[in-house]
Structure 1
Amino acid sequence: MQGKKVSESFTTFTQIVMPNDTNSMNNLMGGNLLRWMDIACGICGGKHANRLVVTAAVDNVSFSRPIKIGDVVTINAQVTRVFNTSMEIFVDVYKENYRQREKVKCNEAYYTFVALDDDGRPVECCELIPETDEEKHRYERALRRRELRLILAGRMKPEDAKELKEIFLGEMK
């Protein structure tokens, strides 16, 4: 199976925050932002896999800056690594206020998606070809993030996490 470049599935999703998207403080509700992030990642993953993908996990999301009514939200999603049937996707979120003419980063997260065949079973994805230094850096670190996710989900024993052991125990040898 031939690999794809990160740029081939890079996805930008843009939305304006409307009154029905906000809470009583006129801030975008966190659940709506998570939904938009999930949609952007799903489109990105689908473009990479050339098939239906579903959300398997979402890493920690901190709401660092409020997004207000009328702000334009731009969400960028890119595949960072492929693991057989699953892929890790990095997403970052920016808000833009037209009056203040500033674009500010306000969130980021890693999502995990699984590619499915026509019967809804996990299916192998094509490899990822990172090109830029940033893409290569995220690609290299993705295995550590995956091991941590699997440990926290109870699907891997800490002693089996080779990459994490190297980080934490490597200097002790």
Structure 2
Amino acid sequence: MKKPCAASRTVKTNRIFPIDTNSHGTMFGGKLLSYMDEIASISASRHSRANVVTASMDSVDFLTPIRLDEAVTLESYVTWVGTSSMEVFVKVIAEDLSTGKRRLANTAFLTFVAFDNDGQKQAVPGVLPESEEERMLHKTAEERASRRVERRKQSKLLADAVSMETPS
């Protein structure tokens, strides 16, 4: 049985404080990536109702900086599934709290794999896109999944060629 994308939709908003920023007064990229992984994992768990692990994070595009004292809202939902894997779309919206002006600051696709309590991969339900955005992302998902498979092969080849020794 398929589940609507909306069943996995998750939204989180945070204010950006000095501890969240770099020397340019903008949000640390690593902090944002952590937020993105966290929210996407909730969407994947809501969809699968299983234990999930992050398998990959696709091209994370930092479109505009997120500044000190702004709010950052992350929204995520499952857009496509394989057998045990789920593609989760995350969009990040920055908001100037003094003016209310909002802008798209970041987007990414993360892939999660579902596991049962014995640590075995678990099949997940299909996804039912309903909105125009959900249908567009679902329609283009198989191409992204194919690119991920190829990128993973290339990563394994690179891993085999890279030295594990630390220079002295």
- Note the 1:124-163 alignment, pairs <5 A: 124-154=123-153
- Confirm or deny that 1:18 pairs with 2:17: yes
Identity of aligned residues (%): 35
User: Equivalent residue of 1:151, what SS?
Assistant: helix
Per-residue CA deviation, residues 74-109 of structure 1 (Å, 9 max, x unaligned), is 001011101000000111000111112201111101
**Which residue of structure 2 lines up, in the alignment, with residue 70 of structure 1?**
69
Distance 2:117 2:20 in 1: 34
User: Equivalent residue of 1:93, what SS?
Assistant: strand
Report the CA distance between 1:27 and its aligned residue. Answer: 0.9
- Note the 1:73-84 alignment, pairs <5 A: 73-84=72-83
User: Equivalent residue of 1:131, what SS?
Assistant: coil
Structure 1 residue runs without a partner (length 5+): 156-173
AA matched with 1:154: K
Distance 1:7 1:123 in 2: 21
**Which residue of structure 1 lines up, in the alignment, with residue 37 of structure 2?**
38
Report the CA distance between 1:13 and its aligned residue. Answer: 1.2
- Confirm or deny that 1:50 pairs with 2:49: yes
Report the CA distance between 1:70 and its aligned residue. Answer: 1.1
User: Equivalent residue of 1:154, what SS?
Assistant: helix
AA matched with 2:55: A
TM superposition score normalised by structure 2: 0.88
Report the CA distance between 1:133 and its aligned residue. Answer: 2.9
Distance 1:134 1:19 in 2: 34
Report the CA distance between 1:31 and its aligned residue. Answer: 0.2
Structure 2 residue runs without a partner (length 5+): 155-168
**Which residue of structure 2 lines up, in the alignment, with residue 168 of structure 1?**
none
**Which residue of structure 2 lines up, in the alignment, with residue 170 of structure 1?**
none
TM superposition score normalised by structure 1: 0.85
Per-residue CA deviation, residues 117-153 of structure 1 (Å, 9 max, x unaligned), is 1122221101111122322221121000000111111
AA matched with 1:111: L
Distance 1:68 1:119 in 2: 43
Runs of 4+, deviation exceeding 3 Å:
none
User: Equivalent residue of 2:68, what SS?
Assistant: coil
Contact 2:57 2:111 in 1 (8 A): yes
**Which residue of structure 2 lines up, in the alignment, with residue 97 of structure 1?**
96
AA matched with 1:38: D
Q: What do you get for the CA RMSD once the two structures are aligned?
A: 1.2
